[in-house]
Structure 1
């Protein structure tokens, strides 16, 4: 499957080759127009097409007599090189045009190789994380561990991600994109191998932490590379391709995992990603290049310690809230320590000369707004990803494979629409797409508040497909609009900050919605208990009749029949209470999506900021 996805990505990237030459000429016109404004009367038209001829003497004279801003100075330097190319075009325009196309094709092919190497690593890393969820019960039985212990396979993975994501910007500057990709894929592959051969929980947990150290770096690195090698006017389509890995992989994960677990050991889930990790290492070694400047920044040790404590305890607190409740002492203490750690981290990053994570990226208004919207969308998205499997498997009795198959069409729609929405973003910006997508998301999320024991499998599938269709216009488009506002030298910091915020939001959303479902289930069960009570003469009489009927049909004593009748009624009450709790959680998720819809009206079309490091 990963090979097919990589092939699809390479084919899509080759489409950009056709328009590269046109984009290059548009860039020439933009530079020349800026020069015309800066130099004024010293520039003269040379033909009916108003081609600009600039000599080195004219540029030097202008620089000495005119105050030119730094961006304009860059345009002058770039234009001087472009003029030399245009002089060659005058001598042999046809041959040079063909040569230019060949150069553009070589650049596009090199860019496609970089993208293929990175996308394969990201796809496999995200896929592996979603594969594990279905295997949790099998790991518990095989290793003879409790639910509270096995959940650390997910919690520890998330904590390690939260620690490594903020230092991605430092690692990119220190190692470069090529070495960092090799490191991250190597760590993920080694971790997968350790998990595959593990004989106990401790060894399995060690492998998961090593996996997370690599996977936590891959996504911010992937975003940084995409935003560096693509110009702003083409980033929408590029980020749409990235959405294939971000959303398609977790959607097909449950289906694939359900089938594998039904036929093989849970260790196969780690075995299948090892060959792809080795393949990606080979591709990265052969194709990956440094696309950012490699420097030697000073490591911000206090900032790293504060971020590790703050994010680690915060994510742990929210993850435990879903298990122990918000009033648990462990949850409260973890959240307090996490908040204090984050406050110290923010203070450190804003006061030091060499911050580990440049938080000043949030002074850019569109980036700050789109980051908040992405966080809210992430919280709402987890409603269907967390609550639907609980409803399908625990309440309706569908298998893990059937639950995964229900989500597969939505994944296919998402994979198809992500590149299309990226193309639309390049034309019209994020606001109309976000509004359209969030309207669909709000409506379909509200429809999930009407679940019953009679809701058909096909109806749920259609709702989920429509919800994923709406989501396909949101994730990458909103994020890209904000990233487009940042200067290029802040791209790595922006991606690290954005991914950190989304990781925290995902943890909060999961814990919050699960807690809502749990508390509301208890509330509905208590209400049913007030009505269905032995103190109610009518209910007591019906229970007695039901018990006698069961005893007679099963040939057991009436007292045993009465007990079975009570257990049956209690089971039905808890079943209906859980459905009502899930519906209430979807009501909250609808409200969260509605908040994102309101914020989407304030998104503006961003232009790259001219910044100076």
Structure 2
């Protein structure tokens, strides 16, 4: 066939793996970048639509929740349709939604568009990893995976930097046009370079399980959001909360009774995996929650422009890039336990430092404390990847890796939702004033400090295995 992997390799020669790797890095970075680029635009969107933080946070948590679902769809879509059709469809949907988003006049329509974009990103990211494994069967695979991981990890920090400039000069709608040129490039390059690789015996998708998962995810997130807007005893809060909890119970029951569950709960019987899964959730909070909180804090309390708020995160992204490579090097010399404990320790110091600064801190002081946390993430990431599978048999490596990614995304979605809830609660408790807003953000940094400190316990319980 014209798009089999061997045919494409023969057509484009020995540089084909590099061309495909470049396409996958750029495409994935753009999708991941869009998940955080909206952060610096939230104050402008809130003002334009006359909404508060509880509703605006759906533009971030909706994406992360959909990415979480998409991760579980990815392997099925790859086997059923092949990476070529799946990725081209994802790129196409992402492009269409990026072009349509600036013209919507309803905040709920904008949230729906963001959810579609999150689903596309969640499906595309694991597929890119599969293609790298297939095109780099031996020599060069480590470097290829390192470059791909570097792009995926730096994207959340680079997104707000680019978006901040666009918001200040062209308005928040320009943020949605940011990924459009790369999506067009991805469609053209994908049509030329992406292989088919369809499975002759694709697995069946557990449709009821997937529906129950989304009812659980979005129901629980909606209940927390509605509680912020209307109170815990409002009908909307009780209804969405009931849907979420019943969906969660039914999903967990189905996972224990289905022959091929979306989430293999048997993995939690392994102590190393169980401890690492909680650390992975905290990693999601640190990656996405802090990237959400810091720009919102400096714009709301410190009076930064969108450009300055985005620029603040640029050095943290560069530090993260260096830290990821350093963490990978250390993972060959230290047990995963020490990487996790050290990384969580740095995260704890980072958020404690940001809380102790109070208001009026300098640009570089805020940047330095945030960068310290990024150094910690650089150690946690390879530690999580290693610790999750260190005591598992070979046949469990693939489901364990996918499940750990799921837990990281879930931590990001729940973390942002809970942070928003906490800020709104403390804002009202502190007098619903500008000073109350400042105190609420300071207390939210203390909340993160406590969370990161608590995560040291499961990390410490891991066996020191090399």
Q: TM-score, normalised by structure 1?
A: 0.65
Provide the rounded CA distance (Å) in 2 between the counterparts of 1:581 and 1:422: 36
1:43-442 maps to which residues of 2 (within 5 A)?
110-139=16-45, 152-154=58-60, 156-198=62-104, 204-205=110-111, 207-225=113-131, 240-289=146-195, 293=199, 295-324=201-230, 328-382=234-288, 384-442=290-348
Q: Is the CA contact (8 Å cut-off) linking 1:320 and 1:331 kept in structure 2?
A: yes
Distance 1:493 1:598, change over 3 A: same
Aligned-residue offset at 1:163: 3.8
Which of the residues 574, 577, 581 maps onto 2:436? Answer: 577
Match runs of 1:538-577 below 5 Å: 574-577=433-436
The aligned length equals: 456
Shift of 1:123: 0.5
Paired residues of 1:228 and 1:488 also in contact (CA < 8 A): no
2:370 maps to which of 457, 464, 470: 464
CA shift, 1:489, in A, is: 6.0
CA contact (8 A) 1:315 1:504 kept: no
Alignment correspondent of 1:85: none
User: Contact (CA 8 Å) 1:425, 1:433: kept in 2 or not?
Assistant: yes
For residues 596 and 292 of structure 1, the distance between their equivalents in structure 2, rounded to whole angstroms, comes to: 41
Pairwise CA distance, 1:130: 1.9
**Is the Cα–Cα contact under 8 Å of residues 297 and 441 in structure 2 kept in the other structure?**
yes
Say whether the 8 Å CA contact 1:236–1:477 is kept in structure 2. no
Unpaired segments of 5 or more residues in structure 1? 1-102, 526-572, 608-613
Query: How big is each residue's C-alpha offset from its partner over 1:43-83, in whole Å with a ceiling of 9 and x where there is no partner?
Result: xxxxxxxxxxxxxxxxxxxxxxxxxxxxxxxxxxxxxxxxx
Tell me, in whole angstroms, the C-alpha distance in 2 between the residues paired with 1:298 and 1:216. 19
Q: 1:463 to 1:500 in 2, by over 3 A?
A: same
Higher relative contact order (CA 8 A, sep 6+): 2
Residue number in structure 2 paired with 1:554 = none
Alignment partner for residue 406 of structure 2, among 497, 500, 516? 500
For residues 287 and 605 of structure 1, what CA distance do their matches in structure 2 show? 43
Partner Cα distance (1:501, 1:281) in 2 = 30
User: Structure 1 residue 254: deviation in Å?
Assistant: 1.8
What CA deviation, in whole Å up to 9, does each residue of 1:90-112 have, x standing for no partner? xxxxxxxxxxxxx9xx9995544
1:516–1:585 CA contact under 8 A, matched in 2: yes
Q: Is the CA contact (8 Å cut-off) linking 2:166 and 2:175 kept in structure 1? A: yes
Deviation of 1:178 after TM superposition, in Å, equals 3.4
Confirm whether residue 589 of structure 1 aligns to residue 448 of structure 2: yes
Cα offset for 1:229?
Answer: 6.8
Supply the distance in 1 between the matched residues of 2:59 and 2:349 (Cα, whole angstroms). Answer: 35
Residue 446 of structure 1 corresponds to 352
Change (3 A) 1:213 1:524: closer
Output the CA distance in 1 between the equivalents of 2:331 and 2:212. 37
Question: Aligned with 2:385: secondary structure?
Answer: helix
Question: Which residues of 2 match residues 34-45 of structure 1 at below 5 A?
Answer: none
Q: Which has the larger radius of gyration?
A: 1
- Alpha-carbon distance in structure 2 between the residues aligned to 1:189 and 1:513: 30
Relative distance call for 1:431 and 1:229 in structure 2 (3 A) is farther
Deviates more, 1:406-415 or 1:236-245: 236-245
8 A contact 1:176–1:292 mirrored in 2: yes
CA distance change for structure 1 residues 393 and 441 in 2, over 3 Å: closer, same or farther?
Answer: same
Residues 262 and 426 of structure 1, relative CA distance in 2, 3 Å threshold: same
Q: Which residue does 2:460 correspond to in 1?
A: 601
Equivalent-residue separation in structure 2 for 1:363 and 1:233 (angstroms): 35
CA RMSD in angstroms comes to 3.6
Q: Distance in 1 between matches of 2:295 and 2:184?
A: 32
Q: Does residue 370 of structure 2 align to residue 511 of structure 1?
A: no
For structure 2, list consecutive stretches of 5 or more residues without a partner in the other structure: 1-8
| Partners of 2:223 and 2:236 within 8 A in 1 | yes
